[in-house]
Amino acid sequence: MTGGDGWGHIPDEGQRILWQGVPDRAMTRADLSGSTMIMGSGFALFVLVWMGGAAQAGGEFWMFGLFHLFAGLSLAFGKPITRAWTWSRTFDTLTDQRAFIAVAPMFGVRSLKSYPITETTVLDYDGNTPGTIHFAKPLARRRKSNDPGAIGFKYIHNSAKVYRLLRDIQQGKMDTDPRKDQLQKGKTT
């Protein structure tokens, strides 16, 4: 991909946009498994049974279970849904010198983070499709964060191509002369 709308002013002079993409938003089977999913589903099922019994007794006491039902469903499905929602507002860009990750949440502050790609950048590629490529670690981690701390392009469809581009940048195989495209087309400035 080439420079899309909204990114033209972000790269430094002379940088070229090599790739742009978004994470895959689909929930996987792994997202819907695990102890949290089982506990949350079990809790929600128990609350539904309790609410049914309380409703048969009459009155509005059964509505007390609505809060607990929401808590159980949130425990079971909250993390994968939140992740898919966040990734639907995440945009990745790779230039011939840096990687950008932009997040535009519906509520809150938009963020754009830039990570230089050099020969010392450690790349970690999982080899999957969609795949994840990590290229940075945060300077400081929050104590209560469950995030393992790796930063990169997550669940992207053409991960092998992006990994190859990152390796080429690392090894200095990427021509950073902005006139290259013009020279190849027979144009000079």
- Rounded to whole angstroms, how far apart are CA atoms 45 and 51? 10
Question: DSSP letters along 48-67, please?
Answer: HHHHHHHHHT-SSGGGHHHH
Identity of residue 83: R
Residue 161 has which token pair? 């191509």
Residue 6 main-chain phi, psi, to 5 deg: 90, -15
pLDDT of residue 183: 38
Where helices occur in the chain by DSSP H, the ranges are: 35-56, 64-87, 159-170, 180-184
Per-residue pLDDT of the chain (189 residues; tens, 9 = 90+): 444 445 556 777 888 999 999 998 877 777 777 888 899 999 999 999 999 999 999 889 999 999 999 999 999 988 888 888 888 889 999 999 999 999 887 777 888 999 999 999 999 999 988 899 999 988 766 555 555 578 999 999 999 999 999 999 999 886 655 445 443 444 443
136 and 123 Cβ atoms separated by less than 8 Å:
no
114 and 100 Cβ atoms separated by less than 8 Å:
yes
